[in-house]
């Protein structure tokens, strides 16, 4: 009987601790606030592959993401329309660039971009919690983004300060998406194939996305005697965002 009572007490204590731990985790909405009128500006570096994939260029812009309106998505859920504007520097007017849709769906924050549905944040925010952030992307339909298949999104560096080139934020979370290199060295003339995928994002409490670093490229060599010169595939690109300001 005493053993049964002791076992019951231990079970209740463990359950209570687990319950309190869950309740005390940060809320994803604190790190991705969705309010009409909210905006964040960024320095944006865009990596492009030109000259038929044989040259790499980095173009610099300023970008602004602005929550434009509350809407309903195609599944009947409340959502928010996010407009992106860009300009080459602060002396130029903002120009429309893209439109996204953010969906606060239960315990996740989804972002729909170019018809691709990403689960950007997911509860609970705990160290090393992981989820399949690209699982809603049908690779059989969007075969040109096959490299996005089976990515594990993982929380890292929770509640850390972040020093950016133009500002400082005192509480961020990092979401690591992918860090892989496949194939040989692109500087080796004998390399026939190489691929790089790297992606991570950082979110600040009360602000939203403050840092993004993404690069994807595929390299095709020509040392097999092919008449096609070595080149990067057309789908290769990269983007880096670093927050400048926010309201």
- The sign of the CA dihedral 114, 118, 120, 122 is positive
Model confidence at 140, pLDDT cuts 50, 70, 90, reads confident
Range of the domain at 189: 26-246
- The sign of the CA dihedral 159, 164, 168, 169 is negative
Task: Please tell me the distance from the alpha carbon of residue 41 to that of residue 39, in angstroms, as a whole number.
Answer: 7
SS3 60: strand
Tell whether 179 is covered by a domain. Answer: yes
Ranges of beta strands (E only) in the chain are 39-50, 55-72, 78-87, 95-105, 108-113, 116-122, 130-132, 152-163, 168-183, 193-204, 208-220, 231-232, 237-246
137-154 burial, b for 16+ CB within 10 Å, e for fewer? beeeeeeebebbeebebb
Predicted confidence (pLDDT) at residue 50 exceeds the cutoff of 60: yes
SS3 107: coil
pLDDT of 78: 96
pLDDT of 9: 47
Which of the 8 DSSP states describes residue 184? Answer: S
Q: How do strand 130-132 and strand 108-113 relate by DSSP bridges?
A: unpaired
Tell whether 105 is covered by a domain. Answer: yes
Tell whether 214 is covered by a domain. Answer: yes
Q: How many domains does the chain have?
A: 1
SS3 80: strand
Whether residue 51 contacts residue 69, with contact meaning beta carbons closer than 8 Å, is answered with no
Tell whether 1 is covered by a domain. Answer: no
Model confidence at 21, pLDDT cuts 50, 70, 90, reads very low
Whether residue 37 contacts residue 67, with contact meaning beta carbons closer than 8 Å, is answered with yes
Tell whether 7 is covered by a domain. Answer: no
Tell whether 219 is covered by a domain. Answer: yes
Model confidence at 105, pLDDT cuts 50, 70, 90, reads confident
What's the distance, Cα to Cα, between the start and end of the chain in Å? 62
Tell whether 18 is covered by a domain. Answer: no
SS3 134: coil
Tell whether 12 is covered by a domain. Answer: no
Among residues 189, 187, 184, which one has the least CA distance to residue 226?
189
Q: Average of pLDDT values for 227-234?
A: 89
């Amino acid at each position: 009987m005493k053993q049964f009572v002791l076992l019951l007490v231990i079970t209740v204590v463990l359950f209570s601790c687990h319950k309190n731990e869950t309740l005390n985790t940060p809320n994803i909405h604190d790190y991705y606030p969705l309010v009409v009128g909210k905006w964040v500006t960024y320095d944006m570096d865009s990596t492009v592959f030109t000259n038929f994939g044989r040259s790499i260029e980095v173009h610099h812009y300023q970008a602004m993401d602005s929550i434009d309106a509350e809407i309903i998505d195609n599944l009947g859920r409340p959502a928010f329309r996010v407009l992106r504007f860009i300009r080459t520097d602060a002396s130029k007017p903002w120009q429309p660039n893209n439109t996204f849709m953010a969906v606060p769906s239960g315990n996740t924050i989804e972002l729909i971009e170019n018809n691709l549905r990403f689960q950007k944040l997911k509860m609970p925010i705990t160290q090393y919690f992981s989820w399949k952030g690209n699982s809603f992307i049908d690779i059989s339909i969007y075969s040109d983004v096959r490299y996005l298949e089976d990515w594990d999104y993982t929380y890292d560096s929770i509640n850390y300060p972040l020093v950016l080139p133009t500002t400082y934020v005192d509480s961020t979370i990092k979401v690591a998406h992918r860090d892989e290199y496949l194939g040989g060295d692109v500087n080796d003339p004998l390399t026939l194939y190489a691929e790089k995928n790297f992606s991570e994002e950082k979110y600040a409490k009360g602000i939203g996305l403050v840092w993004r670093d993404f690069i994807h490229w595929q390299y095709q060599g020509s040392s097999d005697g092919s008449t096609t010169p070595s080149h990067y595939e057309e789908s290769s690109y990269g983007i880096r965002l670093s927050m400048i300001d926010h309201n």
